[in-house]
Structure 1
Amino acid sequence: MVGSLPPQIGNLKVVTKMDLSMNQFSNGIPREIGGLRSLVYLSLRHNKLQGSIPDSASNMVGLEFLDLSHNNISGTIPKPLEKLQNLKYFNVSINKLYGEIPSGGPFKNLSSLFFIDNEALCGSSRFSVPLCLTSSKHKSNRKKLLVIYLFLGLAILFVPIIFVFVWIRYRRGKRAPQQADSLDTKKRERISYYELLQATDGLSESNLIGSGSFGSVYKGILKSGTAIAVKSVQYAAGCGI
Protein backbone atom coordinates (compact mmCIF):
# COMPACT_ATOMS: atom_id res chain seq x y z
CA MET A 1 0.00 0.00 0.00
CA VAL A 2 1.16 3.52 -0.78
CA GLY A 3 0.17 7.07 0.05
CA SER A 4 -0.56 8.73 3.39
CA LEU A 5 -2.22 7.35 6.47
CA PRO A 6 -5.68 9.01 6.47
CA PRO A 7 -6.80 11.03 9.51
CA GLN A 8 -9.98 8.90 9.56
CA ILE A 9 -7.80 6.19 11.11
CA GLY A 10 -8.73 7.79 14.43
CA ASN A 11 -12.33 6.61 13.99
CA LEU A 12 -11.40 2.95 14.54
CA LYS A 13 -12.23 3.21 18.23
CA VAL A 14 -12.63 -0.51 18.95
CA VAL A 15 -9.56 -1.80 17.07
CA THR A 16 -7.08 -3.55 19.36
CA LYS A 17 -4.44 -4.63 16.82
CA MET A 18 -3.21 -2.85 13.72
CA ASP A 19 -0.28 -4.07 11.56
CA LEU A 20 0.53 -1.84 8.57
CA SER A 21 4.19 -2.81 8.34
CA MET A 22 6.19 -3.58 5.18
CA ASN A 23 4.32 -1.10 2.97
CA GLN A 24 5.12 2.18 1.22
CA PHE A 25 3.20 4.63 3.42
CA SER A 26 4.73 8.11 3.34
CA ASN A 27 4.21 11.57 4.90
CA GLY A 28 3.46 11.83 8.60
CA ILE A 29 1.60 9.88 11.25
CA PRO A 30 -1.78 11.65 11.66
CA ARG A 31 -2.39 13.11 15.11
CA GLU A 32 -5.87 11.57 15.06
CA ILE A 33 -4.24 8.21 15.79
CA GLY A 34 -4.25 9.28 19.44
CA GLY A 35 -7.98 8.57 19.53
CA LEU A 36 -7.35 4.79 19.40
CA ARG A 37 -7.51 4.32 23.16
CA SER A 38 -8.33 0.61 22.89
CA LEU A 39 -5.40 -0.16 20.60
CA VAL A 40 -2.94 -2.64 22.14
CA TYR A 41 -0.70 -3.45 19.16
CA LEU A 42 0.48 -1.03 16.45
CA SER A 43 3.20 -1.75 13.89
CA LEU A 44 4.21 0.77 11.21
CA ARG A 45 7.72 -0.56 10.64
CA HIS A 46 9.37 -0.69 7.24
CA ASN A 47 7.51 2.18 5.61
CA LYS A 48 8.55 5.63 4.41
CA LEU A 49 6.87 7.64 7.12
CA GLN A 50 8.23 11.14 7.76
CA GLY A 51 7.57 13.95 10.19
CA SER A 52 7.52 13.54 13.94
CA ILE A 53 5.83 11.23 16.43
CA PRO A 54 2.59 13.04 17.39
CA ASP A 55 2.17 13.97 21.06
CA SER A 56 -1.38 12.63 20.82
CA ALA A 57 0.09 9.10 20.85
CA SER A 58 0.31 9.51 24.64
CA ASN A 59 -3.52 9.20 24.70
CA MET A 60 -3.35 5.57 23.51
CA VAL A 61 -3.52 4.35 27.09
CA GLY A 62 -4.04 0.67 26.19
CA LEU A 63 -0.96 0.46 23.99
CA GLU A 64 1.50 -2.33 24.82
CA PHE A 65 3.37 -2.70 21.52
CA LEU A 66 4.52 0.13 19.22
CA ASP A 67 6.97 -0.41 16.36
CA LEU A 68 7.98 2.61 14.24
CA SER A 69 11.37 1.27 13.16
CA HIS A 70 12.84 1.50 9.64
CA ASN A 71 11.19 4.78 8.61
CA ASN A 72 12.28 8.38 8.09
CA ILE A 73 10.67 9.76 11.24
CA SER A 74 12.45 12.83 12.61
CA GLY A 75 12.12 15.18 15.59
CA THR A 76 12.20 14.18 19.24
CA ILE A 77 10.53 11.39 21.20
CA PRO A 78 7.56 13.04 22.97
CA LYS A 79 8.06 13.04 26.73
CA PRO A 80 4.28 12.58 27.35
CA LEU A 81 4.74 8.99 26.15
CA GLU A 82 5.97 8.31 29.70
CA LYS A 83 2.26 8.18 30.63
CA LEU A 84 1.78 4.90 28.69
CA GLN A 85 2.20 2.62 31.70
CA ASN A 86 1.19 -0.51 29.73
CA LEU A 87 3.82 -0.01 27.03
CA LYS A 88 6.32 -2.89 26.99
CA TYR A 89 7.72 -2.66 23.45
CA PHE A 90 8.69 0.65 21.82
CA ASN A 91 10.99 0.39 18.81
CA VAL A 92 12.09 3.54 16.94
CA SER A 93 15.41 2.25 15.63
CA ILE A 94 16.69 3.23 12.18
CA ASN A 95 15.02 6.63 11.89
CA LYS A 96 16.16 10.25 12.05
CA LEU A 97 15.23 11.03 15.63
CA TYR A 98 17.28 13.34 17.85
CA GLY A 99 17.14 14.83 21.34
CA GLU A 100 16.71 13.26 24.77
CA ILE A 101 15.19 9.82 25.25
CA PRO A 102 12.54 9.96 28.01
CA SER A 103 13.58 8.05 31.11
CA GLY A 104 10.35 7.79 33.11
CA GLY A 105 7.39 5.43 32.98
CA PRO A 106 7.80 2.47 30.59
CA PHE A 107 11.14 3.80 29.31
CA LYS A 108 12.78 2.55 32.51
CA ASN A 109 12.61 -1.03 31.18
CA LEU A 110 13.20 -0.58 27.43
CA SER A 111 16.22 -2.02 25.63
CA SER A 112 18.90 0.18 24.07
CA LEU A 113 18.42 -1.77 20.81
CA PHE A 114 15.10 0.05 20.31
CA PHE A 115 16.94 3.35 19.76
CA ILE A 116 19.92 2.44 17.57
CA ASP A 117 20.75 4.07 14.21
CA ASN A 118 19.13 7.43 14.71
CA GLU A 119 20.42 10.90 13.96
CA ALA A 120 21.35 12.25 17.38
CA LEU A 121 19.55 10.67 20.30
CA CYS A 122 20.98 11.26 23.77
CA GLY A 123 20.09 10.48 27.36
CA SER A 124 20.83 7.86 29.99
CA SER A 125 23.92 5.69 29.50
CA ARG A 126 21.74 2.53 29.72
CA PHE A 127 20.39 3.41 26.27
CA SER A 128 23.96 3.32 24.86
CA VAL A 129 23.68 6.93 23.67
CA PRO A 130 25.73 10.04 24.55
CA LEU A 131 24.74 12.19 27.49
CA CYS A 132 22.62 15.20 26.60
CA LEU A 133 25.14 18.03 26.79
CA THR A 134 22.50 20.61 25.95
CA SER A 135 20.51 19.50 28.98
CA SER A 136 23.48 19.95 31.32
CA LYS A 137 24.21 23.30 29.70
CA HIS A 138 20.65 24.41 30.27
CA LYS A 139 20.90 23.37 33.93
CA SER A 140 24.20 25.24 34.26
CA ASN A 141 22.70 28.30 32.58
CA ARG A 142 19.69 28.14 34.88
CA LYS A 143 21.99 28.07 37.91
CA LYS A 144 23.92 31.05 36.58
CA LEU A 145 20.71 32.95 35.96
CA LEU A 146 19.49 32.16 39.48
CA VAL A 147 22.76 33.49 40.95
CA ILE A 148 22.53 36.64 38.81
CA TYR A 149 18.90 37.23 39.81
CA LEU A 150 19.83 36.69 43.46
CA PHE A 151 22.61 39.30 43.30
CA LEU A 152 20.33 41.71 41.45
CA GLY A 153 17.67 41.27 44.10
CA LEU A 154 20.15 41.91 46.90
CA ALA A 155 21.51 44.94 45.05
CA ILE A 156 18.01 46.37 44.55
CA LEU A 157 17.35 45.85 48.27
CA PHE A 158 20.60 47.14 49.79
CA VAL A 159 21.84 49.83 47.38
CA PRO A 160 19.07 52.30 48.29
CA ILE A 161 19.67 51.62 52.00
CA ILE A 162 23.41 52.26 51.62
CA PHE A 163 22.70 55.40 49.60
CA VAL A 164 20.36 56.77 52.29
CA PHE A 165 22.90 55.93 55.02
CA VAL A 166 25.74 57.73 53.17
CA TRP A 167 23.49 60.70 52.43
CA ILE A 168 22.53 61.04 56.12
CA ARG A 169 26.20 60.84 57.16
CA TYR A 170 27.07 63.46 54.56
CA ARG A 171 24.31 65.80 55.75
CA ARG A 172 25.34 65.40 59.38
CA GLY A 173 28.97 66.03 58.53
CA LYS A 174 28.03 69.15 56.58
CA ARG A 175 25.77 70.48 59.32
CA ALA A 176 28.13 69.88 62.27
CA PRO A 177 30.78 72.52 61.31
CA GLN A 178 28.05 75.10 60.73
CA GLN A 179 26.63 74.45 64.19
CA ALA A 180 30.11 74.62 65.71
CA ASP A 181 30.78 77.92 63.93
CA SER A 182 27.46 79.24 65.18
CA LEU A 183 28.34 78.31 68.78
CA ASP A 184 31.79 79.81 68.46
CA THR A 185 30.23 83.02 67.13
CA LYS A 186 27.87 83.17 70.08
CA LYS A 187 30.75 82.54 72.45
CA ARG A 188 32.81 85.30 70.88
CA GLU A 189 29.89 87.78 70.87
CA ARG A 190 30.57 90.61 73.31
CA ILE A 191 27.65 92.17 75.22
CA SER A 192 28.03 95.50 76.96
CA TYR A 193 27.10 96.10 80.57
CA TYR A 194 24.45 98.55 79.45
CA GLU A 195 22.84 95.90 77.19
CA LEU A 196 22.79 93.47 80.12
CA LEU A 197 21.00 95.99 82.28
CA GLN A 198 18.45 96.65 79.55
CA ALA A 199 17.91 92.94 78.99
CA THR A 200 17.28 92.24 82.69
CA ASP A 201 15.36 95.47 83.33
CA GLY A 202 18.17 96.72 85.53
CA LEU A 203 18.55 93.42 87.37
CA SER A 204 14.93 93.68 88.40
CA GLU A 205 13.64 91.37 91.11
CA SER A 206 10.92 90.29 88.68
CA ASN A 207 13.65 88.69 86.54
CA LEU A 208 15.38 86.96 89.44
CA ILE A 209 15.82 83.26 88.79
CA GLY A 210 17.74 82.32 91.90
CA SER A 211 20.35 83.44 94.38
CA GLY A 212 23.16 81.95 96.45
CA SER A 213 26.16 82.74 98.57
CA PHE A 214 28.14 83.96 95.54
CA GLY A 215 25.44 86.10 93.90
CA SER A 216 22.13 86.09 92.06
CA VAL A 217 21.03 84.93 88.59
CA TYR A 218 18.65 86.99 86.43
CA LYS A 219 16.90 86.12 83.20
CA GLY A 220 16.82 88.56 80.32
CA ILE A 221 16.18 89.02 76.60
CA LEU A 222 18.56 90.87 74.30
CA LYS A 223 17.35 93.15 71.51
CA SER A 224 18.10 90.35 69.08
CA GLY A 225 15.52 88.21 70.88
CA THR A 226 18.12 85.87 72.42
CA ALA A 227 17.24 84.71 75.93
CA ILE A 228 20.10 84.99 78.41
CA ALA A 229 20.89 84.33 82.07
CA VAL A 230 22.99 86.91 83.92
CA LYS A 231 24.84 86.15 87.13
CA SER A 232 25.54 89.01 89.50
CA VAL A 233 28.55 88.13 91.68
CA GLN A 234 28.99 89.74 95.14
CA TYR A 235 32.49 91.05 95.91
CA ALA A 236 33.76 92.51 99.13
CA ALA A 237 33.85 96.03 97.67
CA GLY A 238 30.61 95.77 95.62
CA CYS A 239 29.16 93.57 92.90
CA GLY A 240 30.09 92.55 89.36
CA ILE A 241 28.45 90.86 86.36
Structure 2
Amino acid sequence: MVGTLPPEIGNLKAATLIDLSMNRFSDGIPREIGGLQTLVHLSLRHNKFQGSIPDSMSNMKLKYFNVSVNKLYGEIPSGGSFKKLSSEFFIYNEALCGSSRFNVPPCPTSSKHRSNRKKLLLSFFLLGITLLFGPATVVFVWIRYRRGNRAPEQEDSFSAITRERISYYELLQATVALSETNLIGSGSFGSVYKGILRSGTAIGVKVFNFATGYSIQEF
Protein backbone atom coordinates (compact mmCIF):
# COMPACT_ATOMS: atom_id res chain seq x y z
CA MET A 1 0.00 0.00 0.00
CA VAL A 2 1.13 3.54 -0.75
CA GLY A 3 0.01 7.04 0.11
CA THR A 4 -0.88 8.83 3.33
CA LEU A 5 -2.30 7.13 6.40
CA PRO A 6 -5.69 8.88 6.79
CA PRO A 7 -6.73 10.48 10.10
CA GLU A 8 -9.87 8.33 10.00
CA ILE A 9 -7.75 5.54 11.45
CA GLY A 10 -8.63 7.15 14.76
CA ASN A 11 -12.19 5.83 14.32
CA LEU A 12 -11.06 2.24 14.93
CA LYS A 13 -11.89 2.55 18.62
CA ALA A 14 -12.18 -1.19 19.24
CA ALA A 15 -8.95 -2.20 17.48
CA THR A 16 -6.34 -4.03 19.55
CA LEU A 17 -3.81 -4.87 16.79
CA ILE A 18 -2.82 -2.90 13.68
CA ASP A 19 0.03 -4.06 11.44
CA LEU A 20 0.87 -1.83 8.46
CA SER A 21 4.51 -2.85 8.15
CA MET A 22 6.36 -3.46 4.86
CA ASN A 23 4.38 -0.87 2.87
CA ARG A 24 5.14 2.54 1.38
CA PHE A 25 3.08 4.87 3.53
CA SER A 26 4.52 8.40 3.56
CA ASP A 27 3.95 11.76 5.27
CA GLY A 28 3.32 11.90 9.01
CA ILE A 29 1.75 9.57 11.54
CA PRO A 30 -1.75 11.02 12.19
CA ARG A 31 -2.17 12.29 15.74
CA GLU A 32 -5.70 10.83 15.78
CA ILE A 33 -4.13 7.42 16.28
CA GLY A 34 -3.43 8.46 19.86
CA GLY A 35 -7.14 8.09 20.63
CA LEU A 36 -7.11 4.31 20.18
CA GLN A 37 -7.09 3.40 23.86
CA THR A 38 -7.70 -0.33 23.28
CA LEU A 39 -4.77 -0.70 20.88
CA VAL A 40 -1.85 -2.71 22.32
CA HIS A 41 0.04 -3.69 19.14
CA LEU A 42 0.98 -1.20 16.41
CA SER A 43 3.57 -1.92 13.73
CA LEU A 44 4.51 0.76 11.19
CA ARG A 45 8.01 -0.52 10.41
CA HIS A 46 9.52 -0.49 6.92
CA ASN A 47 7.55 2.44 5.51
CA LYS A 48 8.37 6.02 4.55
CA PHE A 49 6.72 7.87 7.40
CA GLN A 50 8.14 11.35 7.98
CA GLY A 51 7.90 13.94 10.74
CA SER A 52 7.76 13.34 14.47
CA ILE A 53 5.95 10.80 16.64
CA PRO A 54 2.72 12.47 17.90
CA ASP A 55 2.70 13.36 21.60
CA SER A 56 -0.88 12.07 21.75
CA MET A 57 0.49 8.52 21.60
CA SER A 58 1.96 8.88 25.10
CA ASN A 59 -1.48 8.19 26.57
CA MET A 60 -1.96 4.90 24.72
CA LYS A 61 -1.65 1.44 26.29
CA LEU A 62 0.77 0.07 23.72
CA LYS A 63 2.84 -2.98 24.55
CA TYR A 64 4.36 -3.12 21.07
CA PHE A 65 5.07 -0.09 18.87
CA ASN A 66 7.57 -0.50 16.04
CA VAL A 67 8.48 2.39 13.69
CA SER A 68 11.93 1.18 12.64
CA VAL A 69 13.16 1.80 9.08
CA ASN A 70 11.27 5.02 8.36
CA LYS A 71 12.20 8.69 7.96
CA LEU A 72 11.03 9.96 11.33
CA TYR A 73 12.78 12.73 13.25
CA GLY A 74 12.28 14.70 16.45
CA GLU A 75 11.83 13.63 20.06
CA ILE A 76 10.62 10.16 21.05
CA PRO A 77 7.93 10.52 23.77
CA SER A 78 9.23 9.25 27.10
CA GLY A 79 6.02 8.99 29.10
CA GLY A 80 3.19 6.47 29.29
CA SER A 81 3.65 3.19 27.43
CA PHE A 82 6.89 4.45 25.86
CA LYS A 83 8.66 3.78 29.17
CA LYS A 84 8.63 0.04 28.45
CA LEU A 85 9.32 0.02 24.69
CA SER A 86 12.57 -1.38 23.28
CA SER A 87 15.12 0.82 21.54
CA GLU A 88 15.07 -1.60 18.58
CA PHE A 89 11.62 -0.30 17.65
CA PHE A 90 13.09 3.10 16.67
CA ILE A 91 16.26 2.21 14.74
CA TYR A 92 17.05 3.28 11.15
CA ASN A 93 15.18 6.57 11.09
CA GLU A 94 16.09 10.06 9.90
CA ALA A 95 16.99 11.86 13.12
CA LEU A 96 15.12 10.69 16.20
CA CYS A 97 16.32 12.00 19.56
CA GLY A 98 15.37 11.68 23.21
CA SER A 99 16.15 9.49 26.20
CA SER A 100 19.43 7.56 26.19
CA ARG A 101 17.56 4.28 26.82
CA PHE A 102 16.37 4.46 23.19
CA ASN A 103 20.01 4.61 22.01
CA VAL A 104 19.43 7.95 20.28
CA PRO A 105 21.23 11.28 20.77
CA PRO A 106 19.73 13.82 23.19
CA CYS A 107 17.48 16.45 21.67
CA PRO A 108 19.10 19.88 21.19
CA THR A 109 18.43 22.60 23.75
CA SER A 110 15.41 24.71 22.85
CA SER A 111 15.86 28.26 21.56
CA LYS A 112 14.16 29.58 24.66
CA HIS A 113 16.82 28.07 26.94
CA ARG A 114 19.57 29.42 24.70
CA SER A 115 18.02 32.86 24.84
CA ASN A 116 17.85 32.76 28.66
CA ARG A 117 21.51 31.69 28.82
CA LYS A 118 22.55 34.62 26.61
CA LYS A 119 20.62 37.07 28.79
CA LEU A 120 22.31 35.70 31.91
CA LEU A 121 25.79 36.00 30.38
CA LEU A 122 25.05 39.57 29.26
CA SER A 123 23.94 40.48 32.79
CA PHE A 124 27.20 39.17 34.27
CA PHE A 125 29.17 41.02 31.59
CA LEU A 126 27.50 44.35 32.37
CA LEU A 127 27.92 43.79 36.10
CA GLY A 128 31.64 43.11 35.63
CA ILE A 129 32.11 46.31 33.64
CA THR A 130 30.26 48.28 36.29
CA LEU A 131 32.43 46.96 39.13
CA LEU A 132 35.65 47.42 37.15
CA PHE A 133 35.21 50.87 35.63
CA GLY A 134 32.44 52.45 37.69
CA PRO A 135 34.52 53.94 40.55
CA ALA A 136 37.10 55.44 38.15
CA THR A 137 34.66 57.07 35.73
CA VAL A 138 32.85 60.38 36.09
CA VAL A 139 29.91 60.74 33.77
CA PHE A 140 27.85 63.81 32.97
CA VAL A 141 24.53 63.25 31.27
CA TRP A 142 22.65 65.84 29.31
CA ILE A 143 19.08 64.87 28.55
CA ARG A 144 17.08 66.44 25.78
CA TYR A 145 13.34 66.23 25.73
CA ARG A 146 10.53 67.84 23.78
CA ARG A 147 8.18 70.28 25.40
CA GLY A 148 4.81 68.86 26.34
CA ASN A 149 2.81 71.87 25.12
CA ARG A 150 4.36 73.53 22.10
CA ALA A 151 3.01 75.82 19.47
CA PRO A 152 2.61 74.19 16.02
CA GLU A 153 5.44 76.26 14.57
CA GLN A 154 7.79 75.03 17.30
CA GLU A 155 7.14 71.28 16.99
CA ASP A 156 10.69 70.56 15.85
CA SER A 157 12.41 72.49 18.65
CA PHE A 158 13.79 70.84 21.80
CA SER A 159 13.30 72.02 25.34
CA ALA A 160 16.10 73.23 27.54
CA ILE A 161 18.66 70.64 28.56
CA THR A 162 18.24 69.37 32.09
CA ARG A 163 20.20 67.00 34.27
CA GLU A 164 18.88 63.90 35.98
CA ARG A 165 20.35 61.33 38.32
CA ILE A 166 20.77 58.04 36.46
CA SER A 167 22.58 54.93 37.67
CA TYR A 168 25.76 53.80 35.98
CA TYR A 169 24.11 50.47 35.13
CA GLU A 170 21.32 52.31 33.26
CA LEU A 171 23.94 54.24 31.30
CA LEU A 172 25.65 51.02 30.25
CA GLN A 173 22.36 49.60 29.04
CA ALA A 174 21.47 52.80 27.17
CA THR A 175 24.84 52.96 25.37
CA VAL A 176 25.26 49.18 24.87
CA ALA A 177 28.14 49.09 27.36
CA LEU A 178 29.75 52.21 25.81
CA SER A 179 30.24 50.37 22.51
CA GLU A 180 32.08 51.89 19.57
CA THR A 181 28.88 51.82 17.50
CA ASN A 182 27.44 54.41 19.90
CA LEU A 183 30.56 56.61 19.89
CA ILE A 184 29.81 60.15 18.68
CA GLY A 185 33.28 61.62 19.06
CA SER A 186 36.44 61.62 21.15
CA GLY A 187 39.29 63.95 22.03
CA SER A 188 41.97 64.67 24.59
CA PHE A 189 39.34 65.26 27.30
CA GLY A 190 37.42 62.03 26.76
CA SER A 191 34.71 60.46 24.61
CA VAL A 192 31.01 61.14 23.99
CA TYR A 193 28.51 58.33 23.43
CA LYS A 194 24.89 58.41 22.33
CA GLY A 195 22.23 56.28 23.97
CA ILE A 196 18.52 55.76 24.59
CA LEU A 197 17.02 55.20 28.05
CA ARG A 198 14.18 52.76 28.73
CA SER A 199 11.77 55.69 28.61
CA GLY A 200 12.81 56.35 25.02
CA THR A 201 14.72 59.53 25.90
CA ALA A 202 17.83 60.16 23.79
CA ILE A 203 20.94 61.00 25.82
CA GLY A 204 24.56 61.94 25.33
CA VAL A 205 27.15 60.49 27.73
CA LYS A 206 30.59 62.06 28.16
CA VAL A 207 33.31 59.88 29.73
CA PHE A 208 36.36 61.83 30.90
CA ASN A 209 39.86 60.50 30.34
CA PHE A 210 41.76 61.06 33.60
CA ALA A 211 44.96 59.82 32.02
CA THR A 212 45.49 63.37 30.70
CA GLY A 213 45.74 66.57 32.66
CA TYR A 214 43.28 68.35 30.38
CA SER A 215 40.29 66.38 31.63
CA ILE A 216 41.14 67.21 35.25
CA GLN A 217 41.32 70.91 34.42
CA GLU A 218 37.94 70.76 32.66
CA PHE A 219 36.39 68.85 35.51
- How much identity, in percent, do the aligned residues show? 45
Superposed CA deviations along residues 99-139 of structure 1, whole A, max 9, x for unmatched, are 11110111111000000000111111100111112xx1435
Q: Distance in 2 between matches of 1:123 and 1:146?
A: 27
Structure whose residues are more often helix by fraction: 1
From the superposition, tell whether residues 43 and 147 of structure 1 become closer, same or farther in structure 2 (CA, over 3 Å): same
Is 2:37 aligned against 1:64? no
Task: Say which of 68, 76, 94 aligns to 1:93.
Answer: 68
Aligned-residue offset at 1:143: 2.4
* CA shift in 2, pair 1:146/1:69, >3 Å: same
Match of 2:80 in 1: 105
What is the deviation of 1:51? Answer: 0.9
Question: Match of 1:97, as an amino acid?
Answer: L
DSSP 3-state at the match of 1:49: strand
Structure 2 residue aligned with 1:228: none
Which of 104, 107, 111 is matched with 1:138 structurally?
Answer: 111
**C-alpha separation in 1, matches of 2:103 and 2:48:** 21
- Structure 1 pair 143–67 and aligned structure 2 pair: CA distance change class (3 A): same
SS of 2:48's partner is coil
For 1:1-241, what aligned pairs fall within 5 Å after superposition? 25-84=1-60, 86-133=61-108, 136-144=109-117, 167=164
Q: Which runs of 4+ in 1 moved over 2 A?
A: 137-148, 166-169
- Please list the CA deviations of residues 87-110 of structure 1 after superposition, one character each: whole Å capped at 9, or x if unmatched: 110000000101111101111110
Q: How many residues align?
A: 129
| TM-score relative to the length of structure 1 | 0.49
How far 1:146 moved relative to its partner?
7.2
43-52 vs 136-145, which deviates more?
Answer: 136-145
Structure 1 residue 42 displacement after superposition: 0.3
CA separation in 2, counterparts of 1:132 and 1:168? Answer: 48
Q: Report the alpha carbon displacement of residue 142 of structure 1 after superposing the two structures with TM.
A: 4.8
RMSD over aligned Cα, in angstroms?
2.6
Deviation track 1:162-190 (CA, whole Å, cap 9, x = no partner) reads x9xx6489xxxxxxxxxxxxxxxxxxxxx
Largest Rg, 1 or 2: 1
Q: What secondary structure, in the 3-state scheme, does the structure 1 residue paired with 2:83 have? A: helix
Q: Deviations over 1:30-54 (max 9, x none)?
A: 0011111111100000011111100
User: Highest relative contact order (Cα 8 Å, sep 6+), 1 or 2?
Assistant: 2
> What residue identity is the alignment partner of 1:129?
V
Structure 1 pair 141–47 and aligned structure 2 pair: CA distance change class (3 A)? same
Partner Cα separation in structure 2 for residue 75 and residue 37 of structure 1: 24
